[in-house]
Amino acid sequence: MTTHGPVMPVWSCGGCDLPWPCPTRKRELRAEFMDAPVSLALYLGAYLVQATEDMPWTPAGVLHRRFLGWTRETDPATSVVRPSRRQPG
């Protein structure tokens, strides 16, 4: 069990007080959902919906990047970028 869970409604990390998900929790989530990127997106999407209700003053793009945008970025620990699943043509 991680200590880096969200503290709501302010959405800070319970382990380090950074905005949630913090870098530690992102690493944990990458490891937990290594072979299930869609499940990770669904998991974080549910938190994104709740965060938009708790922080209606925050621009949607900011929250999207915070909760979902990082999931498609390069993983600094492994330097791997997950390819998109676009169809050719």
- Alpha-carbon gap, residue 6 to 10, rounded angstroms: 8
Residue 83, phi-psi category: left (phi > 0), alpha (psi -120 to 50), beta (remainder): beta
What is the per-residue pLDDT across 43-87, written as a single tens digit (0 to 9) for each? 999 999 999 999 999 999 999 999 999 998 765 554 444 545 556
pTM to 2 decimal places? 0.78
Extended beta strands in the chain, E state? 6-7, 12-13
Residue 55 tokens read as: 């922080």
